[in-house]
Amino acid sequence: MSDLSTHPRARILMCAPEHFEVSYTINPWMKPDTWQSQAELLGARSNSGWHKLTDTLRSLGAELEMVPPQAGLPDLVFTANAAVVLDGVALVATFRHPQRQPETAVYKKAFEQLKARGLLREVLDMPAGMILEGAGDCVWDPVRDTFWLGYGQRSDKEAAKLVRDTFGFDVVPLKLVDPRFYHMDTCLCPLTGGEVLYWPQAFETEGKALIEERFGKDNLIAAPEEDACAFAVNAVNIGRDIVLATVSDKLRGMLEERGYRLHATPISDFNLSGGSAFCLTLKLDRASGGRDIPAELDIVSTSA
């Protein structure tokens, strides 16, 4: 395992759930009738849970940047979908479903403002007609300098070449076959110690074999089904700390045995829209080569 005794401060993009609700269905978790039957309670709980998530992240040294909430865009809270960000470059997302497509313009404006403040170096648009739903489907492995790209449900397989050409690093496209795990970040979480927390049944046989080959069998942490369905794999990993919604005793033991500290937060109401901790965050200081981008960006990209 890598030496994780210290970890850099993270800079994370989030969006307050002022307008969060489940008002349409674009994945199996979303049931608008269930939400509407308890809208006031669920809205209050999700808001409270989100604020506790921000408190937890700040307690781990993270600095938070905010996208202003927008009426009519309830899923804007899931900022992981905003872009793929690495070495100060943001490749702004495009979306499969019409309900989320207006988010692209909102996120792009936010990234341009971050660039103006010196917190990003470049903001890039997706080519016309190509769909890639940000870091939700393009998950960075910090140990191997590799992107894991999910396709088949939301994002295009062809986006792998674009990401490779844009950032200069290896991209491994894997087809997602379980509708419940529609984004890569719901079923695969590379950890800073070199392991991967994942839900194997979300992938084809070939995909599972690739994961085993690239990570090595000693680094595989297969989440129990109850944890996968509670979005435990959709976690935020900062150094030895893992922030998630809920975790079973079995999975907690598996991760603590590897030296990780777990921080359960009351954000399970976001599961009703198909997201959790990772979905609610986007790391702006993702960097290749195990480097850290300082608070005031002053880097030269190491991309090939």
pLDDT for 145-180, tens place per residue?
Answer: 999 999 999 999 999 999 999 999 999 999 999 999
Confidence grade of residue 132 (pLDDT, cut at 50, 70, 90): very high
Is position 297 within any domain? no
Residues near 280 by Cβ (< 8 Å), separated by ≥ 6?
Answer: 14, 50, 53, 77, 78, 79, 80, 267, 270
Does position 59 have pLDDT exceeding 80, yes or no?
yes
Work out how many domains the chain is built from and give that number: 1
What pLDDT is attached to residue 27?
A: 98
Is position 302 within any domain? no
Domain that holds residue 155: 11-288
Is position 293 within any domain? no
What pLDDT is attached to residue 69?
A: 98
Q: How far apart are CA 241 and CA 74, in angstroms?
A: 29
Q: How far apart are CA 242 and CA 198, in angstroms?
A: 14
What pLDDT is attached to residue 291?
A: 57
What pLDDT is attached to residue 303?
A: 31
- The two tokens of residue 181 are 């795990």
Is position 225 within any domain? yes
Cα distances (angstroms) measured from residue 159 to each of 39, 40, 131, 156, 245: 37, 39, 7, 5, 30
What pLDDT is attached to residue 290?
A: 67
* Average pLDDT over every residue of 251-267: 98
- With pLDDT > 70 as the criterion, what percentage of the chain qualifies? 92
Does position 122 have pLDDT exceeding 50, yes or no?
yes
Confidence grade of residue 292 (pLDDT, cut at 50, 70, 90): very low
Q: How far apart are CA 25 and CA 258, in angstroms?
A: 38
Catalytic residues: 183, 279
What pLDDT is attached to residue 7?
A: 41
- Are the CB atoms for 198 and 211 separated by under 8 Å? yes
The CATH number of the domain holding residue 77 is: 3.75.10.10
Is position 300 within any domain? no
What pLDDT is attached to residue 6?
A: 40
Is position 3 within any domain? no
pLDDT tens profile 194-242 = 999 999 999 999 999 999 999 999 999 999 999 999 999 999 999 999 9
* Average pLDDT over every residue of 62-86: 98
Q: What is the pTM of this model?
A: 0.92
What pLDDT is attached to residue 298?
A: 38
- With pLDDT > 90 as the criterion, what percentage of the chain qualifies? 92
What pLDDT is attached to residue 299?
A: 33
Is position 109 within any domain? yes
Is position 6 within any domain? no
* Average pLDDT over every residue of 27-49: 97
What pLDDT is attached to residue 301?
A: 31
